[in-house]
Amino acid sequence: MIIGLTGGIATGKSTVSNIIKSQGIPVVDADIISREVVMPEKEAYEKIVACFGEQILNDDKTINRAGLGEIIFNDSEKRTMLNDIVHPAVRKEMRRQADAYLRSGESLVVMDIPLLFESKLTHMVDRTWLVYATPEIQLQRLMKRDHFSEKQAMSRIHSQMPINEKKELADVVIMNNGSLSELENNVLSLLKQTEKQT
């Protein structure tokens, strides 16, 4: 079984994914893969430089992620251009990693995909789990974690489908408005139920 783990920016996907990994369940992480596929030797890198110019590079020629983020989270056309370059490579690598885990005998694999609903990728998974925090808590967590101003945080939140809309689409909603230990208990009991079904 493949579970698609999603949420809004900073609602707690990575935190949940770490709990899942601590139980020995493999997680394929779209954010990690999206960093790997834009390394200088990769195909997507050249396309990004051609599209956004050398000014989005650091001195060591790697992509300046904060700088590129400032551009694409404030301009939906540029965001679509970046997505069109990066997403096909990410999808291909996610599929490859998930298949490898399944072939090696794992019965449960989790795919952590922030844009699962936006990119219409639900066909890649058997079930969807959404990590939910209220929009107010989401904003606070994002500002605190990334030291963003409210404006910077809101531009990122508005680049995604609103979390309350995602909540309507998910098979399972993991509430994350409380403490980290409550979250851990929720996730562990959800995993127990799920493992019985696989």
Ligand X SMILES: CC(C)(COP(=O)(O)OP(=O)(O)OC[C@H]1O[C@@H](n2cnc3c(N)ncnc32)[C@H](O)[C@@H]1O)[C@@H](O)C(=O)NCCC(=O)NCCS
Which residues contact ligand X by CB under 6 A?
Answer: 9, 30-31, 34, 65-66, 68-69, 72, 79, 82-83, 86, 90, 114-115, 159-160
Place of tokens 């396309």: 47
Q: Any binding-site annotation on 30? A: no
Q: Which does 141 bind (CB under 5 to 8 A by kind): ligand ATP, ligand X, none?
A: ligand ATP
Residue 61 DSSP code: S
Q: How far apart are CA 17 and CA 138, in angstroms?
A: 17
Q: What residue number has its CB nearest to ligand ATP?
A: 14
Q: How near is the Cβ of 63 to ligand X at its closest, in Å? A: 7
Q: How near is the Cβ of 53 to ligand ATP at its closest, in Å? A: 26
Q: How near is the Cβ of 122 to ligand X at its closest, in Å? A: 15
Q: Any binding-site annotation on 12? A: yes
Q: Which does 179 bind (CB under 5 to 8 A by kind): ligand ATP, ligand X, none?
A: ligand ATP
Please give the residue ranges that form the binding site for ligand ATP (CB under 6 A). 7, 9-15, 31, 114, 141, 145, 176, 179-180, 183
Q: Which does 86 bind (CB under 5 to 8 A by kind): ligand X, ligand ATP, none?
A: ligand X
* CA neighbor of 115 nearest in space, from 83, 75, 142: 83
**Collapsing DSSP states into helix, strand and coil, what is residue 28?**
strand
Concatenating the DSSP letter of every residue in 126-166 gives SEEEEEE--HHHHHHHHHHHHT--HHHHHHHHTTS--HHHH
Instruction: List, in sequence order, every beta strand (DSSP E) within the chain.
Output: 2-7, 27-29, 109-112, 127-132, 172-175
H or E segment and range at residue 190: helix 180-197
* CA neighbor of 8 nearest in space, from 170, 124, 181, 198: 170
Q: Any binding-site annotation on 34? A: no
* Complex with ligand ATP: residue 23 or 107, whichever CB lies closer: 23
Q: Any binding-site annotation on 194? A: no
Q: How near is the Cβ of 25 to ligand X at its closest, in Å? A: 20
Q: State the binding site.
A: 10-15
Q: State the binding site for ATP.
A: 10-15
